[in-house]
Amino acid sequence: MELILISAAFLAGFIALKLNLPPLVGFLLAGFGLNAFGFESDSTIVTLADLGVTLLLFTIGLKLEIKTLLSKEIWAGSTIHNVCSTAIFSAALLCFKFLGISSLAAMSIDQILLLGFALSFSSTVFAVKSLQEKGEMNATYGTLAIGILVMQDIFAVIFLTASTGKLPEWYAIGLFALPLLRPIFYKVLDWVGHGEMLVLFGIFFALVVGAGLFELVGMKPDLGALILGMLLAGHKKASELSKSLFNLKELFLVCFFLNIGLSEQPTWSGFALAILFLLLLPLKGILYFVVINAFKFRVRTSLLASLSLFNYSEFGLIVGGLAFKMGWMSGDILVAIAIAVSISFVLAAPINRYGHRIYQHSSHWLREHAAEQLNTRDKLINPGHAQILILGMGRIGTGAYDELKNRYGSISLGIEVREDAAKQHREEGRNVIAGDATDSDFWERILDTANVKLVLLAMPHHQGNQIALDQLQRRNFKGQIAAIAEYQDQLDSLTEKGVDAAFNIYSEAGSGFARHVCKQLQPSFSPPTR
């Protein structure tokens, strides 16, 4: 059976990829196809699917700082949307009930409200994978969408805990001590180094310390993985840890999408009801746009975030599954939710892929906020009189900034991806702002680069410098561009792509070291004898 599942998943994922759809769409359809031929999910598939979701939430936590959830656009925005969408869906479902839709006719108002609540969620798995494929996890709209999804996950976990009637154990209060253990977690993360031990550390903390500990005290394991990830988010190796778990997480998530299709046998009544649910989906997207835009985000940010959330959620299935188990919901309703979730993924995939084009075609009739009223996280960037942009303010970028300041005065603007590091630079007297130069959203926010004559690509990763170079060329930047690289093939690649000057950081460091030694020590040498 395992060979058939692997083969079906590979073929369906490959076909979806060739059709410019995310592979997860193929995995879903493979699950439904296998179900039609009599295959069913088993404990192995379910276990691997649960591991995938747990690792996904852990890696989300690694990229999400707690202060992000405390911003009003996240906690208030997600709460407003959840309440309003539940009310709107419930009102629409009540109309369907009074129109005599058979599956809904027998449901009470409480059950209708529960169904509306289940449909109000958007998919964390789908949105994260879509953002990762586009490389826009760190975009303003990406972090906004992820923050809202995390809050929705918390709402779902609270509901699941409350609906089972099982309260956490009294000693669950000890979980509040976890932040106090952060220094110990950091120290262990430092000690494990890199390679396989780093991967094992991530699995251990996600599944044992996070999920296992929360399950032990009677709480949802996935919430534990998310919180443990958030506690580690501030560590310098958090990004490396997330990347080391990426392929393992992706493999397990294949089982998650297969499991959705394998779990339920589609019926005609369920399919018909799913179509009704899908007709309501645009209401969810419009409400997302209205709520996000109300917090003074740009139209582009509001629209792209809404498109990322334009789907139904696997948590809706989980809520529906619990309601079915408790006798609050019929099997037809659960099947309808499963089909609606699956089809919403199929519909959302191309919509997200062409999200930037959708914005370009619709921006002229969507009203934009005045520049001075924009949310702080989404304000336009004015380089002012800066003639030099330094992308990446690490050791090399900082050294370049200081040298250029000594030579030409304060004509440089540094771009640093971390807000805390940018703030430290400003306290030290440098003109530095926070921004991700590998993010197309960052370049959309820059007002004018007419004064900029030179751009230094000083980011530590070659791929980041390449992406920034592509963004500059896409905007027809007319000034000069210089970049750093570690290897000769990277230098050749940058030169071929139009960089005016490319420097090998190791050879340049050696030359600089020699110049520094000669200047400081002023050694006296005898000419070589022949």
Dist CA 43 CA 48 (whole Å): 9
Question: Where do runs of H (alpha helix) occur along 264-366?
Answer: 268-294, 299-308, 314-325, 331-353, 355-362
pLDDT at 283: 93
Dist CA 321 CA 332 (whole Å): 11
pLDDT at 161: 63
Of the candidates 308, 276, 271, the residue with the CA atom closest to the CA atom of residue 289? 308
- Coil, strand or helix: which one is 409? coil
DSSP class of residue 527 equals: P
Residues in the chain: 530
φ and ψ at residue 482, rounded to 5 degrees: -120, 145
Angle, helices 331-353 vs 268-294, to 10°: value is 50
C-beta neighbour count of 502 within 10 angstroms: 21
Vertex 422 angle, CA 378 and 188, to 5°: 110
Dist CA 13 CA 253 (whole Å): 12
- Percentage of residues in the chain having pLDDT higher than 90: 16
Vertex 236 angle, CA 379 and 420, to 5°: 35
Do 269 and 339 meet the contact criterion of CB atoms below 8 Å apart? no
Do 333 and 114 meet the contact criterion of CB atoms below 8 Å apart? no
pLDDT at 309: 93
Do 435 and 417 meet the contact criterion of CB atoms below 8 Å apart? yes
Dist CA 482 CA 495 (whole Å): 10
* Residue position matching structure tokens 């309501």: 280
Do 367 and 392 meet the contact criterion of CB atoms below 8 Å apart? no
On whether the pTM is more than 0.75, the answer is no
User: Domains (ranges, CATH) in the chain?
Assistant: 45-252+279-325 (1.20.1530.10), 388-521 (3.40.50.720)
Of the candidates 113, 13, 6, the residue with the CA atom closest to the CA atom of residue 349? 13
Tokens read off for 217: 């005290």
User: pLDDT by residue (tens digit) across 60-108?
Assistant: 788 777 777 788 889 899 999 999 999 999 999 998 888 877 678 778 8
Residue ranges of the chain with pLDDT lower than 50? none
Of the candidates 279, 287, 395, 269, the residue with the CA atom closest to the CA atom of residue 335? 269
Dist CA 221 CA 209 (whole Å): 10
φ and ψ at residue 524, rounded to 5 degrees: -115, 120
pLDDT at 210: 87
Catalogue the long-range contacts made by 103-112 (C-beta closer than 8 Å, 24 or more residues apart): 103/269, 103/270, 103/273, 103/330, 103/332, 103/333, 103/336, 104/273, 106/330, 107/329, 107/330, 107/333, 110/328, 111/323, 111/328, 111/329
φ and ψ at residue 19, rounded to 5 degrees: -90, 15
pLDDT at 342: 79
pLDDT at 289: 94
